[in-house]
Structure 1
Amino acid sequence: MAILDNTSLQLPKENPGAEDFLPLLGTDHVELYVGNAKQAAHYYISAWGFQPLAYAGLETGLKDKVSYVLQQDKIRLVLTSPLRSGGPINKHIDAHGDGVKAIALWVDDATKSHHETTKRGADSYLEPKTLKDKDGEVVLSGIHTYGETVHIFVERSNYNGVFLPGYISWNPHYKAPEVGLKYIDHMVGNVGWNEMDKWCRFYEKVMGFAQLISFDDKDISTEYTALMSKVMSNGNGRIKFPINEPAEGRKKSQIEEYIEFYNGAGVQHMAMATDNIIETVTALKNRGIEFLTVPASYYEDVLDRVGEIDEDLMPLKELSILIDRDDEGYLLQIFTKPILDRPTMFIEIIQRKGAKSFGKGNFKALFEAIEREQESRGTL
């Protein structure tokens, strides 16, 4: 199993407008608050090919919560459930359903990261603290961002344990093969009406990000619905956060639907990268993952729009994988249906063949597919 390299790197700057005063080295992990962590872990192992890594709960001395840690290449998910009634985790689940609580970012210096962000206006979520065990020490700190989502800064250069102090190795008998997921390409946040610019300024001022790209309601609209989006990125390009807000349309947009059922702003989807999207999506479909589909007519002129690609078109068409091109190459992408009962979070699978963009040419087909799902739910 690939373990994240804990060595600090001087990474090249991909986004020249970003200040990078933290800096951020990558996504350390993503923590989701879920109603039943044991069963959620089985889902991510069986359906998504994540591998069991670590555990904390009653057996490790916790009395109020339990967490299972899963890993696939550089992606780590932490699934956390409450063990007793009441308390903040219960309130989060009651309000939002299962969802992302913490986007944890890997840094050289968690204390400095907390100081630099809070002095620029961030509200502190976690004052810097050091966790220790026989394998070394980890420094954690954290700040609030949109909704009830938080960023945790993780400094782990002096730690050689399985995940964090307080966790033990988790090695159950059952494991499923991986499906080729490599790393988190980007994570998308949905915010309320007229809040996109506010949170983009937050990432610019508080975390030193710069805007990579912007889409307005002319770019992302259909006959019925529209939204606006801006993509914020740190300097080395390892952390990309598109921020979406609703725009006026004839019917309820997917962003409005999300905010209604999530009860506020939150993480809409994680985009997970693969080196072979055909193999990855085939494996996921065989394990029961459901994806949005587009009409066969999408593929009639797609190569006229995007030009020559390495892949055969037929398997892409059979799987409903979308194609788009920018000045630096092309990308392949596909989106699951919501993976929860509430129509909130979903997952994107993306393979980049040089492209740095986010599939603007696919927006109309994608959002029409989402609207078909909304209509089936009676929420359009």
Structure 2
Amino acid sequence: MNDMKPLEIKKIFENAQDFLPLNGTDYIELYVGNAKQAAYYYKSAFGFQTIAYSGLETGNMDTVSYVLNQGKIRLVLTSSLVADSPINAHVNKHGDGVKVIALWVDDATKSWEETTRRGAKSVFEPKTEKDADGYTVRSAIHTYGETIHVFVERSHYKGVFLPGFQPMVDANNPSPIGLKYVDHMVGNVPLGNMGIWCDFYAEVMGFTQLVSFDDKDISTEYTALMSKVMSNGNGRIKFPINEPAEGKKKSQIEEYIHFYNGAGVQHIAVATDNIIETVTALRQRGVEFLHVPEIYYDTVLERVGTIDEDLEPLRDLNILIDRDDEGYLLQIFTKPVVDRPTLFFEIIQRKGAQSFGKGNFKALFEAMEREQELRGTL
């Protein structure tokens, strides 16, 4: 990791209070049952590269972590090496899932002070960690469910990841597939909790609400949900928050909360500059995607207008299209990447659009319902 100096990043959403400057997503840490095998999956299927490691060989007797990188995305896959541990308790309760959404900041101490002063519950106070490559400062607060935000200050560190990790170059590093950065991360919360957590991001972290979707926007014959999208001022951190709405059958949000045993990260949206190439590679590597009916493509160009891409490759790959006032976007959603019907990924390419694919909601949620029906959970 190169020395990361504080940045001057333009504020694009004026309604954000922005008392907590955020430079971007630093890393996403998943607690998993078997980090070695999980790392192999994300490398082989998604094209991530191993860059760092912590475990018995580095003097860590309690946990093992593999750090994977692609573009500006860092995934940390962590398992416990001891029987009685919070990590094992987390995996037992939730299955493999996101524990840490780490945010890159210029000042981890100030970030902790500002958020806890405004009501955030502390996970740990600012702590300095050192090795031969310099030092980092990290602090952490709780958010929805058992998910936490870790503030990472690394301007005085030139190591590969964090102190305590050693560089790791694996002979088995499959080629990247064009993933660039984290576009947004979606949280699912129980009924009645969406407003609570949107208020948290507004009041505790200085975010603003970009858009709101109600059950008229996101509904099918059987299920519905509501969602609000929160963003920091520079737009680099976007957190849609979903909650279920009343419907005839169990919605995907209710299914998630049942199997995850509470609130948590539903999906990670990752950006690409060429979704056709990226999704082609993912399919070749065995990644499974939700499927929308062929009829979707009969009228999609009437709805979204002219696009740069030929429609046929998008149809063949089942990639969805939507347009807003700023441009259009291309998106597709994987099936769950874990055994429980919880965590999945979205692949997105923005061609100017700043929205989240509202025009695709009905087709997408009907596809999700078909998967729920196969699982017997609708």
Write out per-residue CA displacement over residues 162-204 of structure 1, whole angstroms, 9 at most, x where no aligned residue: 1000000111211100000000000000000110000000000
Alignment partners' CA distance in 1, 2:348 and 2:127:
36
* Matched position secondary structure for 1:285: helix
Q: Which residue of 1 aligns with 2:66?
A: 68
Alignment partners' CA distance in 2, 1:324 and 1:125:
39
Write out per-residue CA displacement over residues 96-137 of structure 1, whole angstroms, 9 at most, x where no aligned residue: 000000000000000000000000000001110000001000
Alignment partners' CA distance in 2, 1:254 and 1:118:
33
After TM superposition, the structure 1 = structure 2 runs for residues 3-14 of structure 1, keeping only pairs within 5 Å, are 6-14=4-12
Matched to 2:279, the amino acid is V
CA RMSD of aligned residues (A): 0.7
Give the alignment's TM-score, normalised by structure 2: 0.99
After TM superposition, the structure 1 = structure 2 runs for residues 77-96 of structure 1, keeping only pairs within 5 Å, are 77-96=75-94
* Matched position secondary structure for 1:47: helix
Alignment partners' CA distance in 2, 1:338 and 1:108:
34
Alignment partners' CA distance in 1, 2:6 and 2:217:
39
Q: Which residue of 2 aligns with 1:23?
A: 21
Q: Which residue of 2 aligns with 1:219?
A: 217
The structure 2 residue matched to 1:98, chosen from 96, 99, 117, is: 96
Q: Is the 8 A contact 2:3 2:158 kept in 1?
A: no
* Matched position secondary structure for 1:300: helix
Alignment partners' CA distance in 1, 2:138 and 2:315:
45
Q: Which residue of 1 aligns with 2:263?
A: 265
Q: Is the 8 A contact 1:4 1:74 kept in 2?
A: no
Q: CA deviation at 1:277?
A: 0.2
Q: Which residue of 1 aligns with 2:125?
A: 127
Matched to 1:214, the amino acid is S
Q: CA deviation at 1:7?
A: 2.3
After TM superposition, the structure 1 = structure 2 runs for residues 28-177 of structure 1, keeping only pairs within 5 Å, are 28-177=26-175
Q: CA deviation at 1:4?
A: 7.1
Q: Is the 8 A contact 2:330 2:350 kept in 1?
A: yes
After TM superposition, the structure 1 = structure 2 runs for residues 202-213 of structure 1, keeping only pairs within 5 Å, are 202-213=200-211
The structure 1 residue matched to 2:351, chosen from 350, 353, 362, is: 353
Q: CA deviation at 1:5?
A: 7.1
Alignment partners' CA distance in 2, 1:192 and 1:14:
31
Residues 233, 4 of structure 1: alpha-carbon distance in 2 compared, 3 angstrom cutoff:
farther
Write out per-residue CA displacement over residues 309-366 of structure 1, whole angstroms, 9 at most, x where no aligned residue: 0000000001110000000000000000000100000000000000000000000000
Matched to 2:102, the amino acid is A
* Alignment gaps of 5+ in structure 1: none
* Matched position secondary structure for 1:187: strand
Write out per-residue CA displacement over residues 78-100 of structure 1, whole angstroms, 9 at most, x where no aligned residue: 00000011110010000000000
Matched to 1:283, the amino acid is A
1:197 and 2:195 correspond: yes
Name the count of aligned residue pairs: 378
Residues 325, 156 of structure 1: alpha-carbon distance in 2 compared, 3 angstrom cutoff:
same
Q: Which residue of 1 aligns with 2:233?
A: 235
Alignment partners' CA distance in 1, 2:112 and 2:121:
10
Alignment partners' CA distance in 2, 1:210 and 1:80:
32
Q: Is the 8 A contact 2:3 2:156 kept in 1?
A: no
Alignment partners' CA distance in 1, 2:145 and 2:321:
32
Matched to 1:34, the amino acid is V
After TM superposition, the structure 1 = structure 2 runs for residues 289-308 of structure 1, keeping only pairs within 5 Å, are 289-308=287-306
* Alignment gaps of 5+ in structure 2: none
Q: Which residue of 1 aligns with 2:331?
A: 333
